C-alpha cells in the first residue's frame, strides 16, 4: 500500500474543501462468496458494527491507498469487505485470515479502513456452533475496521507498551471500569494476539477482576485475545473506535453470542485450528 499524498500535502489540500458537520451513516458492505449457509452470519455482523459505530467523526477522505475503493474529497460511507468461506487446506491448519487491505486518510488525520478481507476455511468453520461463528465473524470484522490493526497508525498505541492511550477509551476505563491510567492491552499470546486486544489474565482462563457498569468482567469482552462464553461488546471497545475516527454517538453495549475460542488474527495473520482446539479443550 502506498499513500498518494504525504502528510504535508494533506494539510494544504484539506484547506480547500468544505468539511461536513455530520458524517454519513456507515455501511459495512459484505461481498460474500462461498458456502451459502454462512452468508447471513456475515451480514448480521456487518449490521451490528454499522449500527454501533454509526459513521465517522470526519471521514472526508483526502488521500487513500492505491487500491482503495474510497473516493477522494468525499465522506467515507462504505467499507467494503470481501468475505468467503471456502476450502483452504482442509481440517486443521489455517482457520482463516482477516484484516483491512486498503485505507484512506480523512481531513482530521484519521487513518480509516476502506476495504478489507475475511476468509475462513470451510473445513474448520463448519465445526463451530452458529454462536461461535457469529462471534468469530464479529471479532474479525472489528479487526478489519481497525481494532488493533490501526491503533499505532492513529497514534493511540505503541507496540509493546500494553497501554491504549486514546482519550475516549481512557475515560471509559476510568469512569465505567473504575480503573486508573489507560486501558491495558494484551502483551502475551504471541504475534497476532499481543498488541491487538484488551488484556486478559492467565491467557483467558481467569476473571480479570475488571468489570464494567453492569458487572461484566473483561474476560468476557468480545475483543480480548481469548473469547469466553457470553461475550459482550463493551463501552471500552466502542470508545476505542471513537479514538480511531468513528462516531459511535449512541454507544450502547450489547450482548453478543458467546463461544470459547482463541482469537489470533491481526492484519492478515493466520489463525490456526490447533490453537482453537487447545483453548476449547482447556475450558
Ligand atoms: Zn483478534
pLDDT digits (tens, 9 = 90+) for 85-95: 998 888 887 78
| Contact by Cβ (8 Å): 81, 29 | yes
CA-closest candidate to residue 3, choices 130, 108, 103: 103
Please give the Cα distance from 153 to 188 (Å, whole number). 21
| pLDDT band at 15; cut points 50, 70, 90 | very low
Sequence-ordered list of residues with C-beta below 8 angstroms from that of 150, at least 6 positions apart, any chain: 100, 103, 111, 112, 113, 244
* DSSP β-bridge partners for residue 31: 82
* In the predicted structure, residue 203 carries a pLDDT above the cut 60: yes
| pLDDT band at 170; cut points 50, 70, 90 | very high
Region 14-36: mean pLDDT is 70
* In the predicted structure, residue 146 carries a pLDDT above the cut 90: yes
| pLDDT band at 202; cut points 50, 70, 90 | low
Region 217-241: mean pLDDT is 87
Please give the Cα distance from 244 to 240 (Å, whole number). 7
Q: How many angstroms separate the alpha carbon of residue 266 from the centre of ligand 1?
A: 6
Quote the pLDDT of residue 249.
59
Quote the pLDDT of residue 160.
96
* In the predicted structure, residue 34 carries a pLDDT above the cut 60: yes
Which residue in the block uniquely carries the three cell numbers 468469530?
Answer: 136
Checking phi first, is residue 160 left (phi over 0); if not, alpha (psi -120 to 50) or beta?
left
| Contact by Cβ (8 Å): 117, 99 | yes
* C-alpha torsion 55→59→60→63, nearest 10: -140
Q: How many angstroms separate the alpha carbon of residue 33 from the centre of ligand 1?
A: 22
Q: How many CA atoms does the CB half-sphere of 31 hold within 13 Å? A: 8
Which residue in the block uniquely carries the three cell numbers 461536513?
Answer: 20
Q: How many angstroms separate the alpha carbon of residue 139 from the centre of ligand 1?
A: 6
Q: How many angstroms separate the alpha carbon of residue 16 from the centre of ligand 1?
A: 39
Cα dihedral 146, 152, 156, 159 sign: positive
Q: How many angstroms separate the alpha carbon of residue 120 from the centre of ligand 1?
A: 14
| pLDDT band at 55; cut points 50, 70, 90 | very high
Please give the Cα distance from 157 to 13 (Å, whole number). 27
Ligand 1 ion: Cβ-proximal residues, 5 Å cutoff? 263
**Does residue 225 or residue 223 have the better pLDDT?**
223
* In the predicted structure, residue 144 carries a pLDDT above the cut 60: yes
Mean pLDDT of the chain: 80
Q: How many angstroms separate the alpha carbon of residue 89 from the centre of ligand 1?
A: 21
Angle at 146 between CA 145 and CA 151, to 5 degrees: 170
In angstroms, the Cα distances linking 43 to 32, 213, 281 are 9, 29, 30
Amino acid at each position: 500500500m502506498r499513500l498518494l499524498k504525504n502528510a504535508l500535502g494533506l494539510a494544504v489540500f484539506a484547506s480547500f474543501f468544505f468539511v461536513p458537520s455530520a458524517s454519513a451513516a456507515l455501511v459495512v458492505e459484505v461481498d460474500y462468496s462461498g458456502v451459502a449457509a454462512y452468508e447471513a452470519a456475515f451480514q448480521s455482523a456487518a449490521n451490528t458494527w454499522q449500527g454501533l459505530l454509526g459513521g465517522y467523526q470526519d471521514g472526508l477522505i483526502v488521500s487513500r491507498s492505491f487500491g482503495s475503493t474510497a473516493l477522494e474529497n468525499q465522506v467515507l460511507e462504505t467499507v467494503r469487505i470481501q468475505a468467503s468461506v471456502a476450502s483452504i487446506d482442509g481440517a486443521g491448519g489455517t482457520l482463516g485470515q482477516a484484516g483491512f487491505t486498503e485505507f484512506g486518510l480523512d481531513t482530521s488525520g484519521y487513518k480509516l479502513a476502506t476495504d478489507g478481507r475475511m476468509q475462513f476455511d470451510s473445513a474448520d468453520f463448519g465445526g463451530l456452533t452458529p454462536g461461535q461463528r457469529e462471534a468469530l465473524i464479529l471479532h474479525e470484522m472489528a479487526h478489519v475496521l481497525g481494532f488493533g490493526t490501526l491503533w499505532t497508525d492513529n497514534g493511540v498505541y505503541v507496540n509493546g507498551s500494553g497501554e491504549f492511550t486514546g482519550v475516549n477509551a481512557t475515560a471509559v476505563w476510568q469512569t465505567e471500569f473504575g480503573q486508573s491510567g489507560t486501558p491495558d492491552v494484551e502483551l502475551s499470546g504471541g504475534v497476532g494476539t499481543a498488541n491487538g486486544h484488551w488484556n486478559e489474565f492467565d491467557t483467558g482462563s481467569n476473571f480479570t477482576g475488571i468489570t464494567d457498569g453492569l458487572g461484566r468482567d473483561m474476560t468476557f469482552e468480545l475483543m480480548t485475545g481469548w473469547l469466553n462464553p457470553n461475550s459482550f461488546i463493551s463501552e471500552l471497545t466502542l470508545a476505542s473506535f471513537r479514538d480511531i475516527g468513528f462516531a459511535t454517538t449512541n454507544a450502547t453495549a450489547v450482548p453478543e453470542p458467546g463461544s470459547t475460542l482463541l482469537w489470533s488474527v491481526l492484519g492478515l495473520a493466520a489463525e490456526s485450528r490447533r490453537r482453537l482446539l487447545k483453548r476449547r479443550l482447556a475450558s
